[in-house]
Structure 1
Amino acid sequence: MIDRRLNRRQISVLALSGIGSLGLGLPAVGNAQGDAYPSRSIKFVVPFPPGSGTDTTARMFARKIGELAGQPVTVENKPGGNGFIGVQAVMNAPADGYTVFLGSNSTLSTNAATFKKLPYDPIADFAPITLLSRGPCLIVVPSNSPYRTLNDLIVAARKRPGALNYASGSVSYTLYTEWLNELAKIKTTAINTKGAGEAINVTMAGTVDFSVVDASGAVELLKGGRLHALAYTAPERTPLLPDVPTSAEAGMPGYLAYNWVAAAVPTKTPPGAVKRLAALFEQAGASAEIKDYYSRQSTTLLMTGATEMRKYQIDEIARWKRLAATTGLELL
């Protein structure tokens, strides 16, 4: 059980890294050794393979922050083990600000609700920097599916509890779909796949009845007619798929499932380095290049700062823990 109360050190880190205290163009600050930070290359650790949404975000910010800091920023992919390999790489590195974790909802929230014994604490072990981006999901079915609306799917599922199945690319997607099941008062069966990409593939092939998937990975397939979308899990439609209804329009208000990416460092990182990193991320997020990129995506640039990121994490963990308990989800 994660203790949501913050200790004095965590509060100190949050206060130092919140965006309210930041200004663009802050001078370099000293690290624990007294050197100007950053005085050498910074490494972003991503717990997913190259090409993933988290990886793409990490590389965009690495390039821009490298320009702003005048030091190389590299991206190191450490996929596997439900994100544990990437987390461990960061935890084993010196807590000096030169190793930054670029994680997602799975490593920073849903893992806390789905594992009996998580080998790390996403709250206590990390000092938040900022929530970078957030992207909605899509509820999709095979292109030739008889279910043309979300209501069609729900009606069929209610008639045959447990008969319809869905592909789950990760524990996060299992939680998202079980949340849908709870709201719709239906029971469907999870078919686990080796990642989000395979979940999309088996849905296209008709091996499963439906799936909740990351919108960014499915847009082009929908445009090409290889999938059919029942709902977009955001308050407003996306111009990329103007004919796809929102969850509310499809009859499921409140179902707002998001994938998100955030930056954090080990809790013991010197506050000066955390503050400088936060300023660099804020400057990068304000750049024309990054703003322009996100204006063309289904993913939204957020740049919340540390305090809002921590609150969002805590709220997400509470939601998923409640859902795991009420749905009887088997913990890993």
Structure 2
Amino acid sequence: MAFDVLRRRLMLASLALLALPAAAQTGYPTRPVKIIVSLPPGSGADSTARFIAQQLAGKFRQPFVVENRPGANGFIGARAVAEAAPDGYTLFVGSNSSMVTNAALFRSLPYDPVKDFVPVERIARFAMVVVVPASSPFKTLGGLVEAIRNAPGKLNYASGSAGYQVYTELFHERFHLKGNPISYKGTAPAMTDVAAANVDYAIGEISSVLPLIRAGRIRPLAVTDSQRQKDLPQVPTVAESGAPGFDVTAWTGVFAPARVPEPIVKALSDAVRTAMQGPDSVKFISGLGGTVYPGGPQALREFQLAEIARTREIVKTAGIPVE
């Protein structure tokens, strides 16, 4: 009889443990968690990272602190995460630049975007916008295209990262153009120079360009997504403007160092996905011009691998030198 009671109690205890969230079973987290972003403040990755940090802090009752480590095409921030202890206390809000484009553009990286990271959760996707200074004579994408075509390699474009250079070169390839890239440490400083008319044009993530568009400092000519954006309903797509099928978006996702225990990854993934599906999150991301885009660790990994393959094809087709 006593044995039956003991067995029943052990069974109930086991069921109770299984019912706990994965993180609760590991005691994670017991101290502050660092979220590294390889882009500067003001970028879409930074904005979404700070929002996610607030959501996770509320969920886990521990601080989640965002740390910006921009520069070197995202190498600095990504490498810091790749080399961090695999304990769940260092996370990465990566973007298409650091987790996809670098794999296509560089033969040798100080980190491996696939092997050195475990995917946690997708966050959001963002259209991009072809913009010029407000003082620019170009009123339409057609006008800009004609000017670039008439002066090959003479017009300068701002490149906030390796990813933006790839997408701008794809734009050039579709219209048979040649521009001159000027590199910046992130979209925000690139767009600041566009607004100051220090460069002729750029492609920037919608969350970074909307404030400058609304302030009348830059002019949007076309969006890179397959459909017009609700915040820029009068601005045509690149596809509408002479490049059928053109469809390019930026995205952000949460990653952790490889070998982080699966229960911690699952707890973080569940927390991020639940948070991003809430109405406040949908409203926040929409306010940045983006769309919530969760799906789980496996969906993020499959998406990342597909994007790497696609970007390598873009690099090859556009004839972009691989360093």
What TM-score, normalized to structure 2? 0.86
- Aligned-residue sequence identity (percent) comes to 40
Alpha-carbon shift at residue 26 of structure 1 (Å): 6.6
**CA distance, structure 2, for counterparts of residue 26 and residue 49 of structure 1:** 40
Q: Name the structure 2 match of 1:190.
A: 181
Whether the 8 Å contact between 1:110 and 1:317 is mirrored in structure 2 is yes
Q: Name the structure 2 match of 1:29.
A: 22
Q: Name the structure 1 match of 2:200.
A: 209
Q: How many residues align?
A: 306
Q: Name the structure 2 match of 1:266.
A: 257
Whether the 8 Å contact between 1:103 and 1:263 is mirrored in structure 2 is yes
Please tell me whether residue 309 in structure 1 is matched to residue 285 in structure 2.
no
Alpha-carbon shift at residue 194 of structure 1 (Å): 4.2
More helix by percentage: 2
Q: Name the structure 2 match of 1:8.
A: none
**CA distance, structure 1, for counterparts of residue 199 and residue 253 of structure 2:** 31
Please show how residues 131-280 of structure 1 align to structure 2 within 5 Å: 131-280=122-271
Whether the 8 Å contact between 1:141 and 1:228 is mirrored in structure 2 is yes
Q: Name the structure 2 match of 1:96.
A: 87
Q: 296-305 or 177-186, which moves further after superposition?
A: 296-305
**CA distance, structure 1, for counterparts of residue 19 and residue 312 of structure 2:** 39
1:48 to 33, 39, 44: 39
**CA distance, structure 2, for counterparts of residue 300 and residue 270 of structure 1:** 29
User: SS where residue 212 of structure 1 aligns?
Assistant: strand
The residue type equivalent to 1:234 in the other structure is: D
Q: Name the structure 1 match of 2:310.
A: 319
Q: For the structure 1 residues 111 and 229, does the alpha-carbon distance in structure 2 shift closer, same or farther, using more than 3 Å as the test?
A: same
Deviations 1:268-288 (A, max 9, x none): 111111111111111211233
**CA distance, structure 1, for counterparts of residue 216 and residue 232 of structure 2:** 12
List alignment gaps of at least 5 residues for structure 2. 1-17
Which of structure 1's runs of 4+ aligned residues deviate more than 6 A? Answer: none
Whether the 8 Å contact between 2:42 and 2:208 is mirrored in structure 1 is no
Alpha-carbon shift at residue 229 of structure 1 (Å): 1.4
Q: For the structure 1 residues 218 and 154, does the alpha-carbon distance in structure 2 shift closer, same or farther, using more than 3 Å as the test?
A: same
**CA distance, structure 2, for counterparts of residue 218 and residue 53 of structure 1:** 10
Deviations 1:101-121 (A, max 9, x none): 111111101111122211111
Please show how residues 7-18 of structure 1 align to structure 2 within 5 Å: none
**CA distance, structure 2, for counterparts of residue 149 and residue 264 of structure 1:** 39
**CA distance, structure 2, for counterparts of residue 289 and residue 30 of structure 1:** 24
**CA distance, structure 1, for counterparts of residue 277 and residue 317 of structure 2:** 41
User: SS where residue 206 of structure 1 aligns?
Assistant: coil
Q: 200-209 or 236-245, which moves further after superposition?
A: 200-209
Q: Name the structure 1 match of 2:53.
A: 62
The residue type equivalent to 1:97 in the other structure is: G
Alpha-carbon shift at residue 30 of structure 1 (Å): 6.2
Alpha-carbon shift at residue 132 of structure 1 (Å): 0.5
- C-alpha RMSD of matched pairs (Å): 2.2
Please tell me whether residue 296 in structure 1 is matched to residue 287 in structure 2.
yes
**CA distance, structure 1, for counterparts of residue 34 and residue 216 of structure 2:** 40
User: SS where residue 234 of structure 1 aligns?
Assistant: coil
What TM-score, normalized to structure 1? 0.84
Whether the 8 Å contact between 1:28 and 1:36 is mirrored in structure 2 is no
